[in-house]
Chains A and B, each alone.
Chain A
Amino acid sequence: MANIAAQRIKREFKEVIKSEEVAKCAIRVELLNDTFTELKGEIAGPPDTPYEGGTFVLEIKVPETYPFNPPKVRFVTKIWHPNISSVTGAICLDILKDQWAAAMTLRTVLLSLQALLSAAEPDDPQDAVVAKQYKENNEMFQITARHWTNVYAGGPNINKDCDDKIRRLADMGIEEHQARVALSSYDWELERATEQLFS
């Protein structure tokens, strides 16, 4: 890797570790190799959102041309959010694309992602199914996002109704995550989800 990228990540590392957000346990980064090309990020779900109480793991890949090109970031933890793919974890956020600037850092990227969790942009979606639910049935969206946070990100809010419906499908031989996706996509209507799974 070009020297400038590695040197900068080293400096940023110190910055993130010293920052007050780390003290508040809101963000964290961890090195995965000695060459500073792969990192693991962590953000806490922001308060007063369905993601509250969850911890979301991110995969961060630093290109050789960093900081002149943005890092490649993806959610490893499964999440129900209009701007994040519920399948791949791919993120739709302008600063990771055409609005990147060389003065941005891992810290500002993680804080921006945290802000994205608080303020979704359903009109610029990455996951069309989630975005549709967000706009047309926001209450159901909140329930689904909270349930996913509970199951995948260690959030505290157990939803018995959701768990029961998933178990019903699991009893029919459907894999748990597949059942969760189908129910989430059909506003937790057991009948429609079943129909889709067996069609």
Chain B
Amino acid sequence: MADYFEEMGWQPLAEGQAPNHYLHFARLLRDFNIFDGLSEKLPPPVSKKVLESIPTITLEQDGKQCTICLKEYCKGDTAKQLPCKHLFHNTCILPWLTKTNSCPLCRQEMETDDEDYEAFRKEKMRAKQRESDIENLHNSMFS
């Protein structure tokens, strides 16, 4: 089993270092769901690096629809292909990805430049991982 600090994604205090009381207070507030109302806005935009690396492809056949503008693609049109393989017109997907970080169709998230959000996302993933670890442990003991 990973050690406590590694599992929580924290650093032990170094010599001469004092605990960060603001951080403790923030965690306390979080544990009482103080921040829940704040999550009403969308996650932050995709990072510049990821945005630039999204490939543009040329379509080889007609048919299929861009799910943002609902127009059908024609042969020879160019489209952006997200990591989840979903296609969108360049002019349609850009405004979306400069607003938030997920595919409009399947919600697969991409990396952002927002440190706080990335920390929040990692924490969410760790919580999920912990949950499935506990579930596995439980199943291996009682089944």
Where the two chains meet, the residues of A that have a C-beta atom closer than 8 Å to any C-beta of B are 4, 7-8, 11-12, 15, 67-68, 97-98, 100-105
Contact = CB atoms under 8 A, between A and B. Distances in A.
B50 to A, nearest CB: 17
A68 B39 contact: no
Given A4-B69, A7-B69, A15-B70, A102 B40 contact: no
B102 interface: yes
Interface of B is mostly: loop
Nearest to B65: A11
B96 A98 contact: no
Contacts of B102: 101
Nearest to B67: A103
Interface of B: 39-42, 67-71, 92, 95-96, 99, 102-105, 107
B69 A97 contact: no
A98 B35 CA distance: 14
B131 to A, nearest CB: 19
Nearest to A10: B70
Contacts of B107: 101
B68 A11 contact: no
A101 B42 CA distance: 9
Nearest to B42: A98
12 contacts: A11-B70, A11-B71, A15-B70, A98-B42, A101-B102, A101-B103, A101-B105, A102-B68, A102-B96, A102-B104, A103-B68, A103-B104
Nearest to A104: B104
